[in-house]
Every structure is written in structure tokens, then in C-alpha cells.
A and B are shown apart, each in its own frame.
Chain A
């Protein structure tokens, strides 16, 4: 399809619980990106994939965050043992290699940790 599909739209977890977010990129897009948007609008880069390979993971808090993009499956971002500060909207985006059309963003998953 022509949109990046993110599920679920909303997710509520108790502190210490696991959270798993999904992203289906646009077909034919080789790159997938995850961003975290916190309250003050700031977009923090987390990780990018080139197909199923991690391309850049410099933004990932490695002790609790993990992500995968497996063939024929939606990409996923998992947070083990969530903390209050993980409350944010998580956006996924995809692009072609040259990003000639920019990056297409999904509508986000709002994670609330209580």
C-alpha cells in the first residue's frame, strides 16, 4: 500500500510491563526508521533498518529497547520493563534508498506507561 501502517494506535502499560509496537512500511521501501516524540514535540531518532538489517542504532536505549524487521512481517519495536519516561508517541517512517519522495510517516502509536 501507499501508507505506513502502525498498530496499535494507543497502548497503555503498567510500569515494568512489556510493550510491543508494529509498523508495516510501504512496499518497495528499503529503509525503515523509528522515532520517539516526547511531550515537547522533539523527535528523537531511535533506529533504522535497511531491509531486515539494522542500519543505524545510535539512538536506541539498548538495555530495554529492541527492534526487528523480518521478511514478510511487520517491523516491531519492543520495550521490556517499561518506565514512566517511555510514555511518548512512537513514529515509524519508511523511504526508498534515495528518499527522493522524502520519508513517509505512519500515524504513530501513543504509549502511556502508568
Chain B
């Protein structure tokens, strides 16, 4: 079935380091792809999204490119801050004619130290 695989965390970085969180997916159609962020004690916030192959989503210095050939949607940021410490979720869905729910990866915890 359709699924999302994220790299296991926690990821621990120093401030201003480069961040990559890997995400790959399996889907029978052409889904939209999302990254959500969950800060401690809060709900999910949409960070960025891409709706078709080669689209790049970007927001707050984070970027991810929808790669159909490698079925990937890796999250990157050039210089992380302490305030980026959170849990990041990759998700897929919906697509026309298919399911409409979001399917989440297991989440990757990021801890950024000063």
C-alpha cells in the first residue's frame, strides 16, 4: 500500500549547520507531498508542499523538491536555528481519483543546540 518512510531521528545539530531530513514514498498514483512541523506541545503546521514532479516547495528557509524518479521529497535548510527544534513529518496525499487522507511518515525529531 501507499506509505512514507522518513529517516529515524533524533537529528542533533549545532546552530547554523546544514539540515537534511530524508523522505521517500510509495504511491500508486501521483500524490501531493507535504512537510509538516510540530513544535513541542502544539499541533501540526504546514511547512511546505509540492503538487507535481519537479515542483519545489519552500518556506522559512526550508526547501524540498518532488522527485518522481527517486520517489523522494527530502527536506533541507542551509542554516538551522535553535527555534527550528521540532518534529518534522513528511506526508503524501491526496490525488485525483484516489484516497483523500494524509499518510504520514513516523516523524523526525530535530534538536538544534546553540
Q: Are B46 and A45 in contact (CB under 8 A)?
A: no
User: Which of A11-19, A68-76, A77-85, A99-107 participates in binding chain B?
Assistant: A99-107
B107 and A103 within 8 A (CB): no
> How many A-B Cβ pairs are below 8 Å?
52
Distance in Å: Cβ of A43 to nearest Cβ of chain B = 4
Q: Is A112 an interface residue (CB 8 A)?
A: no
**B100 contacts the other chain (CB 8 A):** yes
The chain A residue sitting closest to B9, CB to CB, is A41
Residue of A nearest to B108 (CB): A41
Q: How large is the interface on B (under 10, 10 to 19, 20 to 34, 35 or more residues)?
A: 20 to 34
Shortest B24–chain A CB gap in Å is 17
Are A102 and B46 closer than 8 Å at their CB atoms?
yes
A99 touches B100 (CB 8 A): yes
For A105, the chain B residues whose CB sits under 8 A away are 36, 43-45
Interface residues of B (CB under 8 A from A): 32, 34, 36, 38, 42-46, 49, 51, 87, 89, 93-94, 99-104, 106-107, 109
Of A40, A42, A45, A104, the residue contacting B101 (CB under 8 A) is A45
Q: Which residues of B contact A43 (CB under 8 A)?
A: 89, 102, 104, 107
* A56-B46 in contact (CB<8A): no
Scan residues 48-72 of chain A and give those whose CB is less than 8 A from a CB of chain B. 48, 55-56
Contacts of B34 in A (CB 8 A): 102-103
A58 to chain B, nearest CB (A): 9
Contact B99 A56 (CB under 8 A): yes
Whether B43 and A103, one on each chain, are in contact in the complex, defined by CB atoms closer than 8 angstroms, is: no
Residue pairs across A and B with Cβ atoms less than 8 A apart, 26 shown, are: A31-B100, A33-B101, A41-B38, A41-B106, A41-B107, A41-B109, A42-B104, A42-B106, A42-B107, A43-B89, A43-B102, A43-B104, A43-B107, A45-B101, A55-B100, A56-B99, A56-B100, A91-B43, A93-B102, A95-B100, A99-B100, A101-B46, A102-B34, A103-B102, A105-B43, A105-B44
